[in-house]
Chains A and B, each alone.
Chain A
Amino acid sequence: MKKQSIILRLLQFARPHIGYLAVGLISAMVSVGLMLYTPVLTGNAIDHIIAQGNVDFAAIGKILILLAVSIALGSLFQWLLSYCTNIVTFQTIRDIRTAAFDKLNHVPLKYIDSNKHGQIISRVVNDVEQISDGLLHGFTQLFTGVVTILGTIGFMAAIDLKITLVVVLITPLSMFVASFIAKGCHNMFAEQSATRGEMTAYVEELVGNQKLVKTFCYEDRAQEHFEEINNRLYTCGVKAQFYSAMANPATRFVNGVVYAAVGITGALSAIGGGLSVGQISCFLTYANQYTKPFNEITNVITELQTALASAKRVFELLDEEVESPDTDNAVLTESDGSVKIEHVHFSYDPARTLIKDFNLTAHNGQRIAIVGPTGCGKTTLINLLMRFYDVNKGRICLNGDVDIRTITRNSLRSQYGMVLQDTWLFSGTVRENIAYGKPDASDEEIVEAAKLAHAHSFIKRLPQGYDTPIAEDGGNISQGQRQLLCIARIMLTHPKMLILDEATSSIDTRTEIRIQKAFDAMMQNRTSFVVAHRLSTIREADVILVMRDGEIVEQGSHRQLLKQNGFYAKLYYSQFENSLEP
């Protein structure tokens, strides 16, 4: 993406607020103009104060009134400028942020699965913030800066060309100093932030796992490593800080030189009768103002560049492909509970086929168990059933012959109730979390679902019962309790089919028995797909799919598979081997 096209796209986002933008730009010009005009008036006024008994009060009074008016107007327009930029900025980035978030709800799961969440969040939050800081604020600053410089030169030229020339000739010095510092800062800061990143990563790891550090008496080695990074941070920190701290004194120095040059040439010119004292005063004020925008502009340009980089990342997210649209908006209202998988091929990565020619027919009320060793790709099937991913070849049908790609995703997914291994709750109350799939559920229904999931008793013991907010890190409820809440959530929606992914693995066995009973009752007349390690779940299944390295290697009932004496049998018997008498 080119810089111009990034700016154009940003302008498109700013378009609805173009009125404010226009008012802001006009205000900038007016306020800068008025502010530059005040030194002229001040100078004129001083020229009427000549010596004892030689003061023209009438003229001074007139000038001062004019001065007061232009100060007032200048302030007003300055305020208008900030006001408008604020509105444009915040509303534009609000729109961009909303667009980015909405995008996340429409990208294929592949995007979310294959990108680091921290990075995506940083695009939606930090990068957008950067756009506001750098691009939109920076833009107005750049604009007023340029107007100020041009205006100053113009006003000075109107008074005296020669002194103006002196000032303009010193300009490159100021530019040189500013860019020299900016360049140095950039390199130093890059090094500093890399080192700081390294340190943060190390601290997160070590402090985050402080218990392991203790377990292994790793404290001294950790300290040693930390101090090594810390020392490097010190070295580059001093450099970076010193470099960036040079900017202000350097600008002040350049300012001082300009000031002195104006003073000398002005005084010489005054001696020659060319300039009045008031005009010198006016020049001196300009000299004070003149170099400042240069320094600011260099800063703004670096900020603009980071902002452009941020904008580019945000737009990349906005340009991600979305899920293929639902074909003909056909809504499947009522599933008959049958699922047919025909000749399905699938892989995440074209180089490695995972599922080859897979066939399965599940009738209403059947239980399909998916088993296999750790990391064999059991969740893949869920991704396909829920159409989180599309199959590469073949098809999956509901209700006999309805290809799931011909109905809307929402109506497909609403047929299933799903409890995943990674329990997910959002930062709302317990009640809101249970009612997630059915926001209009009555209190009785919610309590009923919680009771069915054996969650009611612990919820009652929470400080605020059903209105207890779930803490951000879930610290106030245990992993097992989270799972119970996820189960309650499903208990409330009465789906036609169930998908359970090792759902009970972190609940203790006694609670699990009860849940299992509740599930059994719920699974009556419901087709269910269960990914589990637990034999009790597996044994009662109608069909067991045995997976290994992503492939389905065996398929059949528990007894059939044991007779087959293959991989499943080996898996099954291994658990009863005696560890003490090999």
Chain B
Amino acid sequence: MQKFRLLRYLKPYKVNIILGPIFKLTEAVFELIVPLVMASIIDVGIKNADKAYVFKMGGVMVLLGVVGLICALTCQYMASVASQGFGTQVRNALFSHINTLSHAEIDQIGTPSLINRLTSDIDRAQHGVAMTIRMVRAPFLTVGAIIMSMTIDLKMSIIFIIAGLLIGLILYLIMSRTIPLYQVVQKKLDKTSLITRENLEGVRVIRAFSKQENEQRRFGDANEDLTKSAVWVGKISALLNPLTYSVVNLGIVAIIWFGALQVNAGQLTQGKILALANYMSQILIAMIALANFVVTLTKAIASGTRVKEILAISPSVQAPNSSQVPAPVPGAPIICFSQVDFTYHTTGENALNDINLTILPGQTIGVIGGTGSGKSTLVNLIPRFYDITHGKLQINGVDIKEYPFEALRKRIGMVPQRAVLFNGTLRENMRWANENATDEQIWQALDIAQAKEFVQKLPLGLNSHIEQGGKNLSGGQRQRLTIARALVNAPDILILDDSASALDFATDAALRKAIARQSKGMTVIMVSQRANTVRWADKIVVLDDGHIVGEGTHEELLQTCQAYREICQSQQDEGEGEK
């Protein structure tokens, strides 16, 4: 993996990162001075009954507080700007980087994981930055309190060191046990959430089999398991407060006893004992804050690493160096596969083997074959979503790798299997291929895609709101709109990846007719499992297990291709005779 530093996104905030902690330190210094001021009030002011001195020192304390507050707020502001700015920059960079990744990387990482890294992981890293800027205070206070105790009395500071070590040990012992356990609890919580989701999605099946009680038991077990873990973690972390409290207060007991001995020997004053006791309490607060900081920082670093991993991946499909669009070779086929092999994973089996296929401009090509035969894989190579493993793939006689992405993909209209629309108006969805498409162009595309009629019936027409994923439309409507979306830009090549499966026969036929009539000159590649969808194509390609096992027209294939015959027989039998 290439070395990649996430921290470079902090660069613009250098000033904040340096000044923030300095302000914070200033506040902490003031905080440490306060007990000393109090000690001198007692030792000087009270002893000499000097009221003016008391007022003066009291005023100093308030002043220290005010300046401390201002310093602290300045630091918080700097931390907020730096950390939020850092997060914002990283988010922009990551989103843009995800956009450059090819399908191969996206398949491998998985979209849920990408989304998590882009949202919660960056949030955590950002939080880590903020905490780091603010956190100088805790270690400083701990060390500072110990040093102050040393300046007061070297022997007494031994008590501080022991107490500090003990608290550190307690924190370490408890937290090193609870942190992994909290992850276990989270996993178990996810499990209950998974079972709930399954039950909602499978409600019909569950009730059909009358398995409600069984499911309740399954959930009950998971829930009980979760409760047990949660209680167990709770029991361990419940020890934290009482133990640290005991250490600190027993430390104070020790300070009083040994302090008393020192005072008796004339080496210490009453006021200084008070100051020592005060520092002791400060150590506890600081140590707990420090422990929490360590947790946050660990999480932030883990999250940062996950983000870094993605940023360090370079896309396997690379754009050509030159942004010039190569000129087509006159007379060359529009698409030409020669001896193409393709595999998704370098070690895995080939998904496509020795594919030779020539497609001429304006032809309609049908691709048919069983599940997993490589139909979708084949068409996904044409817009260069993946790079072929072996062989040659040419568009207009030019190697596909010589085209800039945009020049290649803008020529291709792709209708994927899963019909997805985006949150926004219908018009915005139709403008995906071409930002500046006119309403006229959109209506024309809708007409070809057999969607005009129902869109006209919508009260808001092109302004109708479409929910995320297109949930407020039926499957068939969605599919027709995705077809229209691909047609808006009048592509040279239209690829329908089994995209008419949710349509009934009548709509499917009308669609094919309209494409043939209204898009003369367009090269159409139709992937389907239905023989009827492809039978009128100029050429039908039959795929089986990654190999082309038949190529030709419907009639030719019926004569020569066993696999094709089987498909047709299963789908039509005597139907044609009756017509």
Contact = CB atoms under 8 A, between A and B. Distances in A.
A121 B196 contact: yes
B566 interface: yes
A412 to B, nearest CB: 9
B61 A260 contact: yes
Nearest to B531: A509
Nearest to B476: A374
A138 B10 CA distance: 37
A151 B383 CA distance: 74
A582 B207 contact: no
A547 to B, nearest CB: 11
Nearest to A425: B202
A562 B579 CA distance: 10
A234 B234 contact: no
A249 B114 contact: no
Interface string B226-257: 11001100110111011101100110110011
A71 B245 contact: yes
A565 interface: no
Given A214-B409, A436-B209, A535-B571, A267 B249 contact: no
B381 interface: no
A329 B31 CA distance: 75
A489 to B, nearest CB: 8
Interface stretch (A341-349, A398-406, A510-518): A510-518
A241 B84 contact: yes
A420 B99 contact: no
A552 B42 CA distance: 96
B197 A510 contact: no
Contacts of A576: 532, 575-576, 579
A227 B93 CA distance: 10
A534 B435 CA distance: 39
Interface string B210-233: 111011100110011011001100
B270 A49 contact: yes
B252 A42 contact: yes
Contacts of B134: 245
B266 interface: yes
A90 B234 contact: yes
A61, A86, A267, A424: which has the most chain B beta carbons within 10 Å? A267
A432 to B, nearest CB: 11
Contact of A71 (B253, B505, B530): B253
A51 B576 CA distance: 117
A375 B509 CA distance: 17
Interface residues of B, number: 176
Contacts of B198: 424, 426-427
Contacts of B295: none
A478 B372 contact: yes
Contact of B507 (A49, A57, A374): A374
A310 interface: no
A442 interface: no
A256 B271 contact: no
B249 A71 contact: yes
Contacts of A200: 115, 119
A257 B257 contact: no
A375 B260 CA distance: 89
A216 B433 contact: yes
Contacts of A257: 62, 65
Interface string A204-219: 1111111111111111
Contacts of B92: 223, 226-227, 230
Interface in B497-519: 501-510, 512-513, 515-517
Contacts of A473: 112
Contacts of B61: 256, 259-260, 263
Contacts of A102: 216
Contact of A241 (B83, B226, B503): B83
A245 to B, nearest CB: 4
Contact of B509 (A259, A288, A480, A577): A577
B98 A207 contact: yes
Contacts of B257: 60-61, 64
Given A90-B227, A414-B209, 17 more contacts: A46-B274, A51-B263, A104-B199, A125-B196, A227-B92, A230-B88, A234-B84, A245-B79, A268-B51, A270-B46, A271-B49, A271-B50, A424-B205, A506-B501, A574-B505, A575-B509, A582-B516
**What 10 pairs between A and B have smallest CB-CB spacing?**
A374-B476, A508-B370, A249-B72, A82-B238, A86-B234, A256-B65, A579-B512, A52-B266, A75-B242, A575-B505
